[in-house]
Amino acid sequence: MPRIPQLIFVVPPSVHVLDLTGPVQVFYEAVDYGASYQLLYCSFQCPVTSSAGLNFGAVMGYQDVKAEPGDYVFLPGMAMEYIRSQEFKQETAFFDWLRQQHRKGTFSKTYKAQVVS
């Protein structure tokens, strides 16, 4: 039986809710119609509060995600104030994890490309 690809949605602090929930909804519906995907959610901080003030409960740490080649990592947009902050720039272990996923064949979709470049 073939492995089901994981769609890994990173839920960062100050996430733009629509940037997260739009793609999640598309893939959720695709699974409802028979597509083979497993949706996972992770973060590098917990708890997470969106840019609009919506709080997210327990989200697994990105370190606990076992991504494999053929999986996808989605990093939705965040408030620019947070992207420019020292707090975000100090998440070097998370950036290293993202680069590692890319090197091993996990595909990444970043909505704010300047974040990981």
Least Cα distance to 24 among 2, 56, 47 occurs for 56
Q: Which domain holds residue 38?
A: 6-115
CATH number at residue 39: 3.40.50.880
Give the Cα separation of 114 and 95 in Å (integer).
12
pTM reported for the whole predicted model: 0.88
Asked if residue 38 is part of any domain, the answer here is yes
Tell me if 100 is assigned to some domain: yes
Asked if residue 16 is part of any domain, the answer here is yes
Inter-residue contact 99 to 36 (CB < 8 Å): no
Q: Is the pLDDT of residue 114 over 70?
A: no
Residue 1 placed within a domain: no
* Mean pLDDT of all residues in 91-107: 90
Q: For residue 57, what pLDDT is reported?
A: 87
